[in-house]
Amino acid sequence: MDPNVRDARRKLAAECIRHLRDNGFTADYYETAEDALNDLKQQIPAGSSIGFGGSETLKETGIIGWLTGNPDYTVFDRYHTDDMRKVFLQSLTADCYLMSTNALTVDGHLYNVDNTGNRVAALCYGPGQVFVIAGTNKLVRNIEEAVIRNEDIAAPANNIRLNRPNPCAQLGHCVHCSTPATLCNQFVVTKRSMPEGRIQILLINEDLGY
């Protein structure tokens, strides 16, 4: 990343974290994904049960690799199962849930668009602690920009990745389709963490995920 862009994002992240904390979230800043992963390892006690949402960010930060086959935890592993629904339901009762977010507003809100709703369900209620890991490329000024970011970046990229026969995979931008194969079914804005501190944001000054 260009050093001037990195510095600008660092300043934007500081403002975002200040607002997140005002909104009841726990929020911390990291220069690198390695720093965030090392801290996360210290925060989740051995013996914890862990679920996680589908996320390129979790892969890119090394979190999925760390959890896969890890004997120190009970991992509800969506990537290695023959019964996805069972894993989704188990994840709702996990001690910890790990995910990223489609967008994070500078005024301290989360914006997420989901397919089946398992990820946003866990964000809203269930797991005792939710860790949201996001790169500073997910930062936007407000919910309106969050919507645009999902429509112009996250949705097309995810549809291409999953080989979905939806218009955005062909056009590169959302056309508000309503096809049977659409990934955009659940739209959730999280304005505050309830209970306070339950949702913890790990904001990393790197380009991560979509």
Whole-angstrom distance, CA of residue 91 vs CA of residue 70: 16
pLDDT computed for residue 45 by the predictor: 97
pLDDT computed for residue 120 by the predictor: 98
Percentage of the chain modeled with pLDDT above 70: 100
Q: Which two three-digit tokens encode residue 104?
A: 């994070």
Whole-angstrom distance, CA of residue 153 vs CA of residue 155: 6
Whole-angstrom distance, CA of residue 103 vs CA of residue 139: 6
Question: What does the pLDDT look like over 130-181, one tens digit per residue?
Answer: 999 999 999 999 999 999 999 999 999 999 999 999 999 999 999 999 999 9
**All structural domains of the chain:** 3-141+191-204 (3.40.50.10420)
Instruction: Determine phi and psi for 20, rounding to 5 degrees.
Output: -55, -45
Q: Are 98 and 74 in contact (CB under 8 A)?
A: no
Q: Are 57 and 92 in contact (CB under 8 A)?
A: no
pLDDT computed for residue 184 by the predictor: 96
Q: How confident is the model at residue 31 (pLDDT cuts 50, 70, 90)?
A: very high
Whole-angstrom distance, CA of residue 162 vs CA of residue 124: 25
Model confidence, pTM: 0.96
Q: How confident is the model at residue 16 (pLDDT cuts 50, 70, 90)?
A: very high
Burial (CB count <10 Å: 0-12, 13-18, 19+), residue 150:
buried
pLDDT computed for residue 130 by the predictor: 98
Whole-angstrom distance, CA of residue 193 vs CA of residue 44: 19
Question: What does the pLDDT look like over 57-66, one tens digit per residue?
Answer: 999 999 999 9
